[in-house]
Structure 1
Amino acid sequence: MPLRVHICAVGRLRSGPERDLLNDYLTRFDRTGRALGLGPATVHEVEDKKGGGMSAEAGLLSGVIPKGAVICALDERGKLISSPEFATTLGGWRDDGRSDLAFVIGGADGIDPSLRAQADAKLSFGKMVWPHMLARVMLSEQLYRAASILSGAPYHRV
């Protein structure tokens, strides 16, 4: 059974260069990951139109995270890992027989502590704060890179 990947994010990514990059890397991930039991990747966007803040966003995000999914929160306080370590982690979740993996990207204020506490893993892209729209692109590229590493393709160079 393949490990389906869900990017659960606050905010809608409009058409433009970020959307084009996201779609390109997710298409590459799906193509490369299929033979490895990874994917497909799906983006779930939620929007708090009532201005309820992080707790309202957490409720909306929880509604799109599949039941039983491994939850990985993208958080500046998360663990810093290399691309090969990320690939190994992804492969481990797949090998453990997990069917869904949800990456959670919060809004401008981050992820509500109650949702962050439910995460099986917390991942950081560095000490700098990245726009949450750009974080989706960075994640999608790392997913493709991880699939490439696991397949032995030359995309990743050490």
Structure 2
Amino acid sequence: MRLHIIAVGKGRTSPEATLTSAWLARLPAGGELSEIDSKLPAGTARCDDEAARILKHVPSDAALVAFDPKGRDCSSEELANLLSLWQDEGRSRACFAIGGADGHGAAVLARADKTLSFGRAIWPHMLFRAMVAEQLYRATAILSGHPYHRPS
């Protein structure tokens, strides 16, 4: 299954961008990062513009996860089970959307198959990308029986 992170903002050459790329490169089927940006001022119009730009990167048959602090907290094992379920359903791609400073627009949340979080804390966007990429790698390691993941 091809895994794709779609994130608002530009990572440029930050250490976090390097880390994100390194984790995505480890994914068995490869990983992808698409960065989108809106030039509109903060507010509803910007969220809606970002949502439309995110959804342009999501194929109609792909599963979509929207990350949101109000989403359901998800363990590594639960994420692995979700990927396994989607693979069993015949999905060839899963997309993981990281919104901008004001969160996701309504269109992304409506399209999302799941709305998840990594806890209630708010994380810096660039660091969160790396965290998502690592968790995607961990989930694929769990599914393949690789010893990288050691449950507590």
| Secondary structure at 1:64 match in 2 | coil
Q: Give the aligned partner of residue 141 of structure 2.
A: 148
User: TM-score if structure 2 supplies the norm length?
Assistant: 0.91
Q: Give the aligned partner of residue 65 of structure 1.
A: 58
1:20 aligns with 2:18: yes
Letter in 1 for 2:30: P
Distance 2:24 2:47 in 1: 27
Q: Give the aligned partner of residue 36 of structure 1.
A: none
**What does residue range 6-155 of structure 1 map to in structure 2 within 5 Å?**
6-29=4-27, 33=28, 39-51=29-41, 52-155=45-148
Q: Post-superposition shift, 1:23?
A: 1.1
Q: Which runs of 5+ in 2 are unaligned?
A: none
How many percent of aligned residue pairs carry the same amino acid? 45
User: TM-score if structure 1 supplies the norm length?
Assistant: 0.88
RMSD, matched Cα: 1.3
Q: Post-superposition shift, 1:113?
A: 2.2
Q: Post-superposition shift, 1:123?
A: 0.9
Runs in 1 of length 4+ with deviation above 3 angstroms? none
Q: Which runs of 5+ in 1 are unaligned?
A: 34-38
